Amino acid sequence: KGFTDHRILSNYGVILDDLGKLKEAESLYRKAIKVKPDYSEAHYNLGTLLKALGKLKDAEISYLRAIEINPDYADAHCNLGNILRDTGKLKEAEFSYRKAIEIKPDFADAYSNLGNILRDNDKLQEAEVSTRKAIEINPDYAEAHYNLGIILRDIGKLKDAELSYRKAIEIKPNY
């Protein structure tokens, strides 16, 4: 109760968030922000919690604030991209994923998410390249193998698609 350090408040919020105590976690993130309004981690953590609660507009605002404070916050750009994708803003989502990759070139999640957006926009060749890059970075990324399977299926490379699906299941048997 007597915590006044913004990092402790935010980190304790993460612990409570992981324990499923979302209201308490949200309160701690907001206290951390009150103590230090320019603490990008607390804004990011709050955004992640708000997204999990389905409060996408509020989550978007939190991620934007984290990026405003720290423009090179690759995870915030990527998660903002997820919000934008979920709200149908595909061009903006694509930009956010590309920005995350520009900041952190080995960001497998951002490459995979970009691949999904490109697939949604019928840019299948680019989607394949981006998704393969995610797999190159993280060969055990089951979701990326599965997504590559979808892309390859859509291109008409059915044998390769099957191999990607099988690889996803090999990595994550309950996929």
CA pair distance 110, 59, nearest whole angstrom: 18
CA distance 38 to 32: 10
pLDDT in tens, 54-105: 999 999 999 999 999 999 999 999 999 999 999 999 999 999 999 999 999 9
Q: What is the pTM of this model?
A: 0.91
Confidence class for position 4, pLDDT limits 50, 70, 90? confident
CA dist., res. 165 & res. 153, Å (int): 10
Cα-only R_g, the chain: 18
Question: Residue 2 — pLDDT band, cuts 50, 70, 90?
Answer: low
Percent of the chain whose predicted confidence (pLDDT) is above 90: 92
CA dihedral 130, 72, 11, 48 (to 10 degrees): -50
The alpha carbon torsion through 47, 49, 51, 56 (nearest 10 deg) reads -60
Tokens of 133: 């890059």
Give tens-digit pLDDT for 19-47. 999 999 999 999 999 999 999 999 999 99
Least confident of 11-15, 85-89, 96-100, 138-142: 11-15
At residue 140 the predicted structure's pLDDT band, cuts being 50, 70 and 90, is: very high
Handedness of CA 163, 79, 71, 33 (dihedral sign): negative
Alpha helices in 20-175 (DSSP H): 22-35, 40-52, 56-69, 74-86, 90-103, 108-120, 124-137, 142-155, 158-171
Q: In b/e form, how buried is each residue of 140-166, taking b as 16+ CB within 10 angstroms? A: ebbbbbbbbbbbbeeeebeebbeebbe
> Would you say 13 and 25 are in contact if contact means Cβ atoms under 8 Å apart?
yes
